[in-house]
A and B are shown apart, each in its own frame.
Chain A
Amino acid sequence: MSTVIAEQAHATSHDGSHDGSHDGSHDGSSTAAHDEKPGIRAGAFGNATGLACRECGHGVELGPFYACPECFGPLEIAYDFPAITREEIEAGPANIWRYKALLPVPTDIEQSPNMEPGFTRLLRANNLGRELGIDTLWVKDDSTNPTNSFKDRVVACALSAAREFHSKVFACPSTGNLANAVAAAGARAGIKTVVFIPSNLEQPKQVNSAVFTESLVAVNGNYDDVNKLASEIAGEEDGWAFVNVNVRPYYAEGSKTLGYEIAEQLGWRLPDQVVIPVASGSQLTKVHKAFQELVTLGLVEDKPYKIYGAQATGCSPVSVAYKAGVDAIRPVKPDTIAKSLAIGNPADGIYVLDICRETGGAVEDITDDEVREGIVLLARTEGIFTETAGGTTVGVLKKLVETGQLDTTLETVVINTGHGLKTLDAVAGSVGPAATIDPSYAAFVATGLA
């Protein structure tokens, strides 16, 4: 049995479906590089068959290309999946490579040095559920990945693509977590890394990258400025794999593993509701894609589920569009402590709108104070220290309950994407010693804590 899954992919052939005048001219690959590039080995991308434009369906050969040569729309991986069983997946390693048949990676992916991310814990969150009045609540805790955020997943897939494309530099524009993941993965793989961040990024995230790479570049500007610069560099420099620019189709597929794991860890079934933070929106769209693939492949039973997006009010272009009932995203200049979500011009924002509306979910946003409260709430109820993105997600979960947008009787999963040690400053002013005392028993009793 063979199952073809390609989102809105009508064509996977590079030939015959357009006038041919743009052959070899996709972004990230100059004409010269295209002519001279080393060959791609058989099976380099597993069951992937090509790239297809999510907007117009135009097909493009597998390569370091990300924008449709016809309409500039996003290219996505098209696959021809064989039959895959739960048992085959369960026999795999306790990391994302147990799902390698569903990713654009070779069958020997485990043999190449990589960070082996994923298969993070899915924790039953009874205390937080009780606090919020949700009957069945789970936290998918991706803060336990090798560099303490979900970004290790996507970077592992991008690294495989970079390796197969014989890239000489592994690079990214980043709000912080991605920089950490790229710098570490590149070090382990022995490939040169160059990572670009906004110069005002939290200091721990800067150190967490700089420790792994000599080439951390702080750019004067916000993330969208850094992203613009990276896109220009990707168009000029041959042999550079920008994980979230010219190899973005491969990179983004890594987020599907969050969806696969949630379903497998629930006993091969889909949850009723999932709350996911939204920066570019890629992760949310890929969790949805993962659920759809599992249904199509017969690995889980088909059932309705709702997907909710979480943003900070200081950077909420998707939430604003959702609430206004419009399809277009108006870019914003971010102003929020949730820097890992501070993308003012989100590439996948329109698809987040589509998915949240189609599934009956919503997109909601909360203030920076509510983000801080969300961090402390998760920590004090479940012993999980999340960064500002997770504070945003937990805070939005709370708001969704309070506003009646989320059904508290349905099984709900909230995704924690990163570790709180990366954004200590966010809550440093909110939590601290309850008392400072001399080392005497009397002084302790006087605090009232006995």
Chain B
Amino acid sequence: MSVSVRIPTILRTYTGGESQVTASGGTLAEVLEDLDASYAGIRARILDDNGALRRFVNVYVGNEDVRFLENLETPTPEGTQISVIPAVAGG
């Protein structure tokens, strides 16, 4: 299943400057795995050593923070928009 992933500025060195890329996978975990196959090393910037989302990264499937969904097991249907965003904004 093909999904769109919005890449934060910090990680665009991995994507050749692209702010939006496509990837495939039925869950967020699979999408990140596929993303890493295309852009080696990018997953380790989003996940910590234990394979969990880093503390200062928010990931959205559609417009919802995956921490309110099923975290890395959140389903990512065909055409889903995924956004990776630094968490330290606001207030």
Binding site for B on A (CB under 8 A): 21-22, 25-31, 55, 66-69, 71-74, 173, 221, 223-225, 227-228, 230-232, 234-236, 242, 244-245, 248, 252, 279-283, 328, 330-331, 333, 343, 345-348, 350
CB distance from A206 to the nearest CB of B (A): 19
Which residues of chain B (15-69) have a CB below 8 Å from chain A? 17, 19, 45, 54-58, 60, 63, 65, 67-68
Contact indicator A333/B68 (Cβ below 8 Å): yes
20 more A-B contacts (CB under 8 A) besides A234-B89, A244-B89, A345-B58? Answer: A22-B10, A22-B13, A26-B10, A66-B88, A66-B89, A71-B56, A72-B55, A72-B56, A73-B55, A224-B90, A228-B58, A235-B85, A242-B89, A244-B91, A245-B89, A279-B91, A280-B90, A282-B91, A283-B91, A333-B68
6 A-B contact pairs sorted by A residue (CB < 8 Å): A30-B17, A55-B56, A71-B54, A72-B57, A331-B67, A348-B91
Which A residue sits closest to B6, measured CB to CB?
A232
CA–CA, A28 and B11, complex, Å = 12
Contact indicator B19/A235 (Cβ below 8 Å): yes
Interface centre among A55, A67, A74, A281 (most CB of B within 10 A): A67
Contact indicator A236/B19 (Cβ below 8 Å): yes
Which residues of A sit under 8 angstroms from B74, Cβ to Cβ?
none
| Contacts A71-B54, A228-B60; A25 near B83 (Cβ below 8 A) | no
Contact indicator B90/A227 (Cβ below 8 Å): yes
CA–CA, A345 and B87, complex, Å = 9
In the A-B complex, the 5 residue pairs with the smallest Cβ-Cβ separation, listed nearest first, are A280-B91, A67-B86, A72-B56, A74-B88, A227-B90
Partner of B90, one of A25, A26, A235, A244: A244
Number of chain B interface residues as a range? 20 to 34
Which B residue sits closest to A280, measured CB to CB?
B91
Contact indicator A66/B9 (Cβ below 8 Å): no
Contact indicator A27/B10 (Cβ below 8 Å): yes
CA–CA, A263 and B39, complex, Å = 51
Contact indicator B87/A72 (Cβ below 8 Å): yes
Which B residue sits closest to A32, measured CB to CB?
B17
CB distance from B56 to the nearest CB of A (A): 4
Which residues of A sit under 8 angstroms from B55, Cβ to Cβ?
72-73, 328, 350
Which residues of A sit under 8 angstroms from B90, Cβ to Cβ?
173, 223-224, 227, 230, 244-245, 280, 343, 345-347
Contact indicator B85/A231 (Cβ below 8 Å): yes
Which residues of A sit under 8 angstroms from B60, Cβ to Cβ?
228
CB distance from A116 to the nearest CB of B (A): 23
CB distance from B18 to the nearest CB of A (A): 11
Partner of A221, one of B17, B56, B63: B63
Partner of B86, one of A27, A225, A346: A27
Which residues of B sit under 8 angstroms from A223, Cβ to Cβ?
90
Contact indicator A25/B65 (Cβ below 8 Å): no
Which B residue sits closest to A22, measured CB to CB?
B13
CA–CA, A57 and B12, complex, Å = 22
B75 at the interface (CB under 8 A from A): no
CA–CA, A330 and B53, complex, Å = 13
Which B residue sits closest to A31, measured CB to CB?
B17
Partner of B91, one of A22, A73, A281: A281
Which residues of B sit under 8 angstroms from A173, Cβ to Cβ?
89-90
Contact indicator B9/A228 (Cβ below 8 Å): no
B77 at the interface (CB under 8 A from A): no
| Contacts A224-B65, A244-B91; A232 near B85 (Cβ below 8 A) | yes
| Contacts A230-B89, A245-B89, A245-B90; A29 near B9 (Cβ below 8 A) | yes
| Contacts A221-B63, A224-B65, A228-B63; A30 near B9 (Cβ below 8 A) | yes
Contact indicator B88/A248 (Cβ below 8 Å): yes
Which A residue sits closest to B12, measured CB to CB?
A25
Which A residue sits closest to B83, measured CB to CB?
A232
| Contacts A343-B90, A347-B88; A235 near B65 (Cβ below 8 A) | no
Which residues of B sit under 8 angstroms from A283, Cβ to Cβ?
91
Partner of B68, one of A29, A281, A331, A348: A331
CB distance from A175 to the nearest CB of B (A): 9
Interface centre among B8, B17, B58, B90 (most CB of A within 10 A): B90
Which A residue sits closest to B60, measured CB to CB?
A228
Which A residue sits closest to B91, measured CB to CB?
A280
Which B residue sits closest to A73, measured CB to CB?
B56
Contact indicator A67/B88 (Cβ below 8 Å): yes
Which residues of B sit under 8 angstroms from A236, Cβ to Cβ?
19
Partner of B85, one of A73, A228, A346: A228
CB distance from B44 to the nearest CB of A (A): 11
Which residues of B sit under 8 angstroms from A252, Cβ to Cβ?
91
Which residues of B sit under 8 angstroms from A55, Cβ to Cβ?
56
CB distance from B22 to the nearest CB of A (A): 17
Which residues of A sit under 8 angstroms from B85, Cβ to Cβ?
228, 231-232, 235
